[in-house]
Chain A
Amino acid sequence: MLEEGEGVCPPLKPLSDIRYRLLIKIYRTAYDFFGEMAMMAKENTRGRLLKFIPFISVAAFLISWQLIVQLGVVPKMLLAAPLDVLRLFIDKLTQPHPDGALLYVHVLVSLEEAILGYFLALAIGIPLGLLMGWFHTIEGFARPIFEMIRPIPAVAWIPLTIFWFGIGLSGKVFIIWLSGIVPCVINSFVGVTLTNPTSVQMAKTYGASKWRIFCTICIPSALPMVFGALQMALAACWTTLVAAELIAANTGLGFLITMGRRLTMPDMVVLGMILVGLTGFIIGVIIDAVEKKLLAGIRR
């Protein structure tokens, strides 16, 4: 046995049978060579398979969709095949028939309403939320009103807005603004309340006033949450826009969807739905890119 305090170098020897050792060596090299290749190959095929399946799945989905309609499993009146939708899409790029406007007019109208309402919501909601988080007086006054507005789903405002503003642009912008302002205020508020108290104390030791601390410490540290609000507010705005246009509008993507139902043209309905989804997705991607650029370096 080893004596106390004595180090033993080199490490313990294995069983010293020479044949055993040779066998081990051969075995080890072979396993090294083949075993690694086998392991990597297994990982690779699995990886490659997993990469292919999504494409197959989407293709299968589209193909079965097309076949369901084409083969009459679902009547043509109820569902439009993807090719029909595509046809209508190309059609409407140049033809104002049957709902009275070219496709790009609809898209532009929807975008206009949404973006106006969205940026108005950001412009008012974010400063309000930031101020509410830091100044108690502002919070005391604004919070009850905000808490009263918050639980009302944006769609519930539609009849009142139509009643007040009619079916025009201003009414829709109002509703979209209402729905976008809620996540902005909440996120900005929480962002400011989560300011690191140590940073605040540090600023106080330098003699900074409350307003100064707010501008130089609270706002920058709340930025990640504020940017989180951008995406949420966009989703809320876009959904509310569609709801508002579904119910009362003359142009726009939601109007397209409703028109399709009234004229029993499911391809128009599906076209409208896809465009709604696509536009929302693209705007989301743009906002994501802007956010990455502006927040580069700040850890989320």
Chain B
Amino acid sequence: MALQTRATTIPNRPQPPRRLIKFLFSALGNRYFLYTLSVVMFLAFWDLAAVKKVLGNFLPRPIEVLSQLLSLNTEPLASKTLFEHLWASIHRVLIGWAIGVSIAVPLGIFMGLNPYVRAIVKPVFDLLKPMPPISWISLSILWFGLGEESKVFIIAIGSFVPCILNSYNGIRLIDPALYDAARMMGANRRQEIIEVGFFASAPAIFAGLQISLSIAWSCVLAAELVGSRSGMGFIIILGMNQSSPALIIAGMVVIAITACLISVLMDRLEKMVCPWKRELPQ
């Protein structure tokens, strides 16, 4: 026979209104609830401000931005759809970044390994370092015109600086005890450099690649703003020229999403390439 107990007292349940208040308070403590609430309130304020014309005709409603985004997908703007413009920008970034990185990383490694190379290269590099890559735009346009080459050049210059810095520091700051351990196990100089130098500096070099990729994305936009016929920068400048803020904001949204995707992709790659890197506490 199952043991059955009967409640001898009726438990004191809080009244419905108080339960609701308790629930609301606990919800307010929940982080994700706050996030959603914040986003919803932000969109609501935006819509309200747009409708009430707070900034004059300068603020489009969120719906307008969304419809602009969708229409960009289907109707070509200056004979290219949204994805074609996006690809034009990404294409330039990839080429310029690859060029910059393929020069910067070996040079940085050489600088770290050989003090003579460092003494020759570093002072010139330190002179050129404070000049932001965007300031090279004018010079680049003077040299290469308004075509693809000038943009790729800027992107290469922008990717160059953080890569070389990280590669150099990555090699320089390797724990010398690791070299000792390798030598004690019978590695010759070549094996030492490959086993210890390469792997121990890989996380730093990869971090340099990540930073330079986001700088490259920023550079391509700046270059396209100055003069271009395609690309995401072109889209937002067109929006400005056509007094169509919905177009501008739509372009900015796509730019933001792309930047997010790039950084997520690089994070995943890093976990694959350097699985031994310890996770910093969040």
A–B touching in complex (CB under 8 Å): yes
Residues in chain A within 8 A of chain B (CB atoms): 50, 53-55, 57-58, 61, 77-79, 136-137, 139-145, 148, 151-160, 162-164, 193-194, 238-239, 242-243, 246-247, 254, 257-258, 260-261, 264, 266, 269-270, 272-274, 276-278, 280-281, 284
Known: A141-B38, A155-B218. A272 touches B119 (CB 8 A): no
- Say yes or no for B142: interface residue by CB 8 A criterion: yes
Quick check: A153 and B259 within 8 Å, CB to CB? yes
User: CB distance A154 to B218 under 8 Å?
Assistant: yes
**A141 and B34 alpha carbons, distance in the complex (Å):** 6
Residues of B within 8 A of A274 (CB): 131
Further pairs besides A53-B120, A141-B38, A276-B135: 10, Cβ < 8 Å: A77-B142, A78-B143, A143-B35, A151-B259, A155-B233, A163-B243, A246-B226, A257-B137, A266-B139, A266-B142
Bound-state CA distance A258–B37 (Å) is 45
Which of A148, A163, A238 has the most chain B CB within a 10 Å cutoff?
A: A163
Nearest CB of A to B176, in Å: 18
Across the interface, name the chain A residue whose C-beta is closest to B218: A153
B-side interface residues toward A, CB under 8 Å? 28-29, 31, 33-35, 37-39, 41-42, 55, 58, 115-116, 119-124, 127-139, 141-143, 214, 217-218, 221-222, 225-226, 232-233, 236-237, 239-240, 243, 245, 248-249, 251-252, 255-257, 259-260, 263, 281-282
Nearest CB of chain A from residue B18's CB, rounded to whole Å: 22
Query: Which of A57, A78, A140, A152 touches B142 (beta carbons < 8 Å)?
Result: A78
When the two chains form the complex, which single residue of A57, A254, A257, A281 contacts B120, counting CB atoms closer than 8 Å?
Answer: A57
Q: How far is the CA of A194 from the CA of B282 in the complex (A)?
A: 9
Q: What's the dominant secondary structure at chain B's contact region?
A: helix
- Chain B, residue nearest A149 (CB): B256
Give the shortest distance, in Å, between A157 (CB) and chain B (any CB).
7
Tell me whether A155 and B116 are in contact (CB under 8 A). no
Instruction: Give the residue of B133, B139, B236, B237 whose beta carbon is less than 8 angstroms from that of A270.
Output: B139
Question: Would A281 and B252 count as touching, CB distance under 8 A?
Answer: no
What's the dominant secondary structure at chain A's contact region? helix
Interface pair A151/B245, CB less than 8 Å apart: no
Please, could you name 6 A-B residue pairs with CB atoms under 8 Å apart, sorted by A?
A140-B35, A143-B35, A160-B236, A243-B222, A246-B135, A269-B142
Chain A residues whose CB sits within 8 angstroms of the CB of B222 once the complex forms = 155, 243, 246-247
Residues of A contacting B214 with CB < 8 Å? 153
The smallest beta-carbon distance between A236 and chain B, in angstroms, is 10
Q: How far is the CB of A63 from chain B (nearest CB, A)?
A: 12
The closest CB in chain B to the CB of A260 belongs to B138
Chain A residue, CB-CB nearest to B263: A151
- Pick from B120, B132, B245, B259: contact of A242, CB under 8 Å: B132
Q: Determine if A261 and B255 form an interchain contact, defined as CB atoms under 8 angstroms apart.
A: no
- The one of B115, B143, B232, B245 in contact with A160, judged by C-beta atoms closer than 8 angstroms, is B245
Contact A140 B31 (CB under 8 A): yes
